[in-house]
Amino acid sequence: MTSLAPTTPWTAGAKDDYRDCPVTTLKVDMHSERLIIANAVMAVVTLTLGGIAALLIALTRWQAIHLLPAAWFYRLLTLHGIDMLVAWIVFFEMAGLHFGSTVLLNARHAAPKLAWTGFGMMTVGGLMANAVVLIDPNSSVMFSAYVPLKAHPLFYLSYILFAVGALITVITFFINIVTAKREGVLKGSLPLVVFGLMTAAILATYTLLEGAAAIVPAFFWSLGILKTYDPGIYRNFFWGFGHPAQQVNLAAMVSIWYALAQMTVGIRPVNEKFSRLAFILYLFFINLGSAHHLLVDPGLSFAWKAVNTSYAMYLAVLGSMMHAFSIPAALEIALRAKGHRKGLFGWLRNAPWAEPGFSSLVLSMFLFGWIGGVTGVTIGTEQINMLVHNTLRLPGHFHATVVSGTTLAFMGFTYYVIPLIFRKELKLKSWAKWQPYVFGFGMLLTSLGMIASGLQGVARRNWDITFAGVVPGTVEITLAIFGIGAVLAVIGGIMYVTIVLVSILTGPRLEASNLLLLTGTHNPIIDSTKLTDHQMEDKQNQPKGALTLVFIFLVWFAVYYFTNWWLLGRTWFIN
Amino acid sequence: MPENKKDEEPQPIGQKIFDNIWLLFVLSLLISTVLYNVWGIIDLMNVPFAK
Amino acid sequence: MLAPEKNWWKPMGRLEKTWLTVALVWCIFLTVMMPLWYFYGKQNVPTETYRTTPADYAAKVNAFVEQYTVGKDEATGFPIVAAPAGSDIYLRASTWQWYPVLQLEKGQEYRLHISSMDLQHGFSLQPVNINLQVIPGYDYVATITPTSSGDFTIVCNEYCFVGHHTMVGKIIVK
């Protein structure tokens, strides 16, 4: 692999090399560069597989089209879950962990061999899972593989390989940080973005250990070595893996939000203590949300359900609400300091909406918070969950969080990874300008269509809802909205993959010369270092607009929440 | 801004706690495992047999 | 993305404190809603559960059907079973059917038992939209009172392999 910039050994006689990034002045360890590239490539490959499945599935649930036969629908639905929730997003996060523990700390990668082993296991596990599901008709068990549904032993083995590989990568993240501290490269606290990624890494450790606890016995059960496996216990451990995996996505996404905000607008965190406290609330309480999947399960007490589903008094939700103010507030202060002070929202109107990193940031925050977050907390309320469990409202919620939220933010961030790490010029820039909007709007319709269908009782993971009897015309409409939204989102996904492939496969290797892609030659990261304490505290720069936005959000939250209690009150009595 | 003076001040205890990776790691895993896994499985183990 | 200043532990600004307080109050309110509804609401998640085996549960279902059959459902050929108010009534989930067809009276209370013979299933009562998880080995008891009458559909909403979407049952409320 030829490198343009001259590389320098970390110490005399060392075998590894680094280069100096001309745009950010950060040191990039060549091991990190290669590891980030490898993980990013596998991320996009698995996203593409999952995206093809997504299109075919959506065109099947859109009753008017009803494309696939039943067996293929269930098979591709299994694949879609695995490729998106397990493969795409975790590969991207591993790239982020390598980036955060080395490049952002100006530190060397202290465990490249271990990291490559992890990557190898993840790749073998991910590809094997795809192969098993495509080849073995009995392995269409959905990503959740609920015991006593039994898949081929290789299905469970592929999960185990992937999870162990990811855990090894997470361990290298910690090795890098400890090494940087020990070698005096990291003095003082971690930068906020790295602190957030560290939160993700800690949550990922719990996630992957839980995955082992769920899947390893399932593997032996599929071989006949373990005679019985209580489904209730499986569900406890599986969702101890499955939901925290989403919290890893949340922590990583929020970290990327702070990064994108600094890269496109040049923010300074309003208050480090405030933001870090929010991440710590995630660390302590967010894994308890695994209980969301078990709220209408037999055998579990009211107290357990209430305490866990509320993330211990909703303290983890508080963490999210804190970031929901902190990031827009930082954007507002930075933009007001530049002179955009007209009215309550002049700063927002003058923000760089044409910059893909900014539009993906804002759309991701809005869709994640207003749709994903509000629906999540509401349907995670113990009693309200009876109206929701396993209806299409559930995928409606999590597509707003994982796809409109995390995936969209990751897509936006990729556009900067390409010039800065792949060291290729970003092509199809006009596509990149529009892609977040196309994808975001498509996913908005998808989520709304699913939620509206679920409110009418349409089941998830169901090939054909007409078997349930007379299906009201309104269901046909809402499923069509879901279908149309999905097609639009897939177009947005195709745009993303095309931009990425064309950029990395064509054209010469080129050192990046500009941070922003479309909105200027200034360097927002350098600008952020010039924001003075005085400017941050200046009365004219205070984030009243951001505060207004979060208050409006709270009103919307309350309306949605109370509507659901009202709906519950109208059903049969049950206890 | 008296930068030198600031740098000589000891780190606030809150900052030290927020910076302690291992403390955060252990508490995170402990709270999750006890409140969600252990308590949940105890509930399941206590389900009585049908009469 | 860059290193913070050496001592970054600073007091929060006025706007941060305002939002933090408001958000915390909302969180406390959310927390209180669940126990409040537990004590005062009429719709709560059932908790009564017993361990059972498919064989034992099937025996209970059959005894129940034998005792209270009042007719036969034309569509499925399954018995229509009507027990008096206050009774234990039984529903059996298996791939891919709900057995038997239950007949209830509006405004009366029943103890509905649900379990599975084989895989996990989802009890989804439509259009009432009440959803519960059905797990083999667990007899889940829901004390229900129908507040509307008519023919209601039970849709299975937990994926149970290739015939999943055909798994549809019926409850009649007079």
The answer to whether the Cβ–Cβ distance between B35 and A189 falls below 8 Å is no
DSSP A265: T
Q: What is the pLDDT of residue B11?
A: 80
Whether A1 has a pLDDT exceeding 80, the answer reads no
How many A×B Cβ pairs under 8 Å? 79
Look at residue A27 and give its three-state secondary structure.
Answer: strand
Contact list, C140 vs chain B (CB under 8 Å): none
Reported as a single tens digit per residue, the pLDDT across A231-246 is 999 999 999 999 999 9
How far apart CA A396 and CA A374 sit, in angstroms, is 12
What average pLDDT does range A76-92 have in this prediction?
Answer: 96
Between residues 410 and 429 of chain A, which touch chain C (CB distance below 8 Å)? none
End-to-end CA distance of chain A: 65
In this structure, are residues C131 and C123 in contact, taking their beta carbons and an 8 Å threshold? yes
What average pLDDT does range A453-464 have in this prediction?
Answer: 95
Q: How many CA atoms are closer than 13 Å to the CA of C119, on its beta-carbon side?
A: 22
Q: A358 Cβ partners below 8 Å, 6+ apart?
A: A260, A264, A265, A351, A352, A519
Q: Does C158 touch chain A (CB under 8 A)?
A: yes
- The residue of chain B with its CA nearest to that of A534 is B1
The tokens for A410 are 């990751």
Q: How confident is the model at residue A144 (pLDDT cuts 50, 70, 90)?
A: very high
Q: What is the pLDDT of residue C4?
A: 86
Q: Does C153 touch chain A (CB under 8 A)?
A: yes
How far apart CA A166 and CA A173 sit, in angstroms, is 11
How far apart CA C147 and CA C153 sit, in angstroms, is 15
Q: How confident is the model at residue A10 (pLDDT cuts 50, 70, 90)?
A: confident
Model confidence, pTM: 0.95
- The residue of chain A with its CA nearest to that of B36 is A288
Of A529, A283, A513, whose CA–CA distance to A420 is shortest?
Answer: A513
User: Burial code of A174-196, b = ≥16 C-beta within 10 A, e = fewer?
Assistant: bbbbebbbeeeebeebbbbbbbb
Share of chain A above pLDDT 90, in %: 92
What average pLDDT does range A395-417 have in this prediction?
Answer: 97
Task: Sort residue C77 into left (φ over 0), alpha (ψ -120 to 50) or beta.
Answer: left
Contact list, C7 vs chain B (CB under 8 Å): 6, 9, 11-12, 15
Q: Residue written as tokens 């002049």?
A: A346
Closest residue to A318, CB basis, from C10, C24, C132:
C24
Contact list, C23 vs chain A (CB under 8 Å): 318, 321-322, 554
The answer to whether the Cβ–Cβ distance between A575 and C46 falls below 8 Å is yes
Look at residue C81 and give its three-state secondary structure.
Answer: strand
Q: How confident is the model at residue B2 (pLDDT cuts 50, 70, 90)?
A: very low
**Omega before C100 cis (within 30°)?**
yes
Contact list, B6 vs chain C (CB under 8 Å): 5-7
Identify the weakest region by mean pLDDT among A60-64, A117-121, C116-120: A60-64
The phi and psi torsions of A186 (rounded to 5 degrees) equal: -100, 105
Q: How confident is the model at residue B7 (pLDDT cuts 50, 70, 90)?
A: low
* Residue B7 to chain C, least CA–CA distance (Å): 7
Q: What is the pLDDT of residue A15?
A: 67
The answer to whether the Cβ–Cβ distance between B15 and C50 falls below 8 Å is no
Of A255, A259, A521, whose CA–CA distance to A416 is shortest?
Answer: A259
The answer to whether the Cβ–Cβ distance between C50 and B7 falls below 8 Å is no
The answer to whether the Cβ–Cβ distance between B47 and C6 falls below 8 Å is no
Q: Does C139 touch chain B (CB under 8 A)?
A: yes
The yes/no answer to whether this complex scores an ipTM above 0.90 is yes
Reported as a single tens digit per residue, the pLDDT across A195-250 is 999 999 999 999 999 999 999 999 999 999 999 999 999 999 999 999 999 999 99
- The residue of chain C with its CA nearest to that of B4 is C6
The tokens for C32 are 């209180």
Maximum separation of any 2 CA atoms in chain C, in Å:
80
Q: How confident is the model at residue A13 (pLDDT cuts 50, 70, 90)?
A: low
The answer to whether the Cβ–Cβ distance between B12 and C7 falls below 8 Å is yes
What's the mean per-residue pLDDT of chain A? 95
Contact list, A304 vs chain B (CB under 8 Å): 39-40, 43
Q: What are C133's strand-pairing partners?
A: C122
User: What DSSP letter does each residue of C99-157 carry, written as one string?
Assistant: ESEEEE-TT--EEEEEEESSS-EEEEEETTTEEEEE-TTEEEEEEEE--S-EEEEEEE-
Of A109, A3, A42, A67, whose CA–CA distance to A421 is shortest?
Answer: A3
Whether A11 has a pLDDT exceeding 90, the answer reads no
Of A388, A376, A398, A357, whose CA–CA distance to A524 is shortest?
Answer: A357
In this structure, are residues C96 and C160 in contact, taking their beta carbons and an 8 Å threshold? yes
Q: Residue written as tokens 């290789």?
A: A154
Contact list, C56 vs chain B (CB under 8 Å): 50
Q: How confident is the model at residue B8 (pLDDT cuts 50, 70, 90)?
A: low
Q: How confident is the model at residue A9 (pLDDT cuts 50, 70, 90)?
A: confident
Q: What is the pLDDT of residue A3?
A: 52
Q: A70 Cβ partners below 8 Å, 6+ apart?
A: A463, A464, C162, C165
Reported as a single tens digit per residue, the pLDDT across B15-32 is 999 999 999 999 999 999
Q: Does A285 touch chain B (CB under 8 A)?
A: yes
Mutate: best of C7, C24, C51, C157, partner A, most A CBs <10 A: C157
Of A560, A387, A563, B45, whose CA–CA distance to C44 is shortest?
Answer: A387
Reported as a single tens digit per residue, the pLDDT across A39-52 is 999 999 999 999 99
How far apart CA C108 and CA A395 sit, in angstroms, is 35
- The residue of chain A with its CA nearest to that of B20 is A189
The answer to whether the Cβ–Cβ distance between A572 and C128 falls below 8 Å is yes
Residues C45, C50, C54, C56: is their CA dihedral positive or negative? negative
What domains can you pick out in chain A, each with its CATH number? Answer: 25-569 (1.20.210.10)
What average pLDDT does range A139-166 have in this prediction?
Answer: 96
Q: Where are the domains of chain B?
A: 14-45
Whether A294 has a pLDDT exceeding 60, the answer reads yes
The tokens for A145 are 């593989």
Q: What is the pLDDT of residue A531?
A: 92
How far apart CA A439 and CA A456 sit, in angstroms, is 26
What average pLDDT does range A395-424 have in this prediction?
Answer: 96
Closest residue to B15, CB basis, from C8, C51, C56:
C8
Contact list, A75 vs chain C (CB under 8 Å): none
- Written as one letter, the residue type at C38 is Y
Contact list, B5 vs chain C (CB under 8 Å): none
Quick one: angle between helices A408-417 and A231-264, nearest 10?
50
| pLDDT higher at A460 or B50 | A460
Whether A12 has a pLDDT exceeding 90, the answer reads no
Between residues 1 and 51 of chain B, which touch chain A (CB distance below 8 Å)? 1, 14-15, 18-19, 21, 24-25, 27-29, 31-33, 35-37, 39-41, 43-44, 47
Q: What is the pLDDT of residue B1?
A: 44
The answer to whether the Cβ–Cβ distance between B6 and C139 falls below 8 Å is no
